Chains A and B, each alone.
Chain A
Amino acid sequence: GENVEQHPSTLSVQEGDSAVIKCTYSDSASNYFPWYKQELGKRPQLIIDIRSNVGEKKDQRIAVTLNKTAKHFSLHITETQPEDSAVYFCAASAGDYKLSFGAGTTVTVRA
């Protein structure tokens, strides 16, 4: 099955700086790569996703890049704000209904 590894497990950034989270996947058939944000005590919610036919996608301060050859994808958050503090999960799916998640990255934005 799919194995998704996520790094780093924790990330502390100064407000206004950028944050980068990286994930690798094992199944070359994976074609859908979403990112979820989970605030403390809340449910995970989708913040951005990318499909295998696209190399990069951006939504305001958030961007995701995908390198299919290397089987890795990354989340970039620019101009971080206190409300960006949360746990972020990457995931991968090979189109078989199953999402495989990374272990998560706890992001703390320091004021």
Chain B
Amino acid sequence: NAGVTQTPKFQVLKTGQSMTLQCAQDMNHNSMYWYRQDPGMGLRLIYYSASEGTTDKGEVPNGYNVSRLNKREFSLRLESAAPSQTSVYFCASSSGVGGTEAFFGQGTRLTVV
């Protein structure tokens, strides 16, 4: 099993450009998440999808949109990238209700110049 797969692994954007980060899981998990990781700030939740067909804002949603395409796939879109969005982005999934292990993708290192 591949687990949680994210693409791309690295990306450099110019301010104002848009891009979509892709995430897919093959563990038949109901819930999926997008986090960003910045030095000294841990992992902060951007958006999550408790189940197919639902999405909700997390702690830092501004500047992002998400789509739960189907049970397997959850994408994160930056419509107009800003330098403050330079970060490492992690997708994760879990089987369902809070209180279960979250499995992370390998991360996407995004730099906005």
Binding site for B on A (CB under 8 A): 1, 4, 6, 9, 31-32, 34, 42-46, 49, 51, 89, 91, 93-104
Contacts and interface: CB of A to CB of B under 8 A. Distances in A.
A51 B98 CA distance: 11
Nearest to B90: A43
B23 interface: no
A37 to B, nearest CB: 11
B102 A103 contact: no
A101 B90 contact: no
Given A43-B90, A43-B105, A97 B98 contact: yes
Contact of B50 (A46, A97, A103): A97
Nearest to B48: A97
A51 B58 contact: no
Contacts of B58: 98
18 contacts: A32-B98, A32-B99, A34-B102, A44-B43, A44-B104, A45-B104, A49-B101, A51-B99, A93-B98, A95-B97, A96-B98, A97-B31, A99-B33, A99-B43, A99-B98, A100-B45, A101-B42, A102-B42
Greatest chain B CB density within 10 A among A6, A34, A45, A103 is at A103
Contact of B41 (A42, A51, A103): A103
Nearest to B102: A99
B41 A31 contact: no
Interface residues of B, number: 26
Interface string B39-65: 011111100101000000011000000
A96 B98 CA distance: 5
Interface in B48-85: 48, 50, 58-59
Nearest to B91: A43
Given A43-B105, A43-B107, A97-B50, A6 B99 contact: no
A99 B42 contact: no
A89 to B, nearest CB: 6
Interface string B86-101: 0000100010111111
A1 B58 CA distance: 10
A31 B99 contact: yes
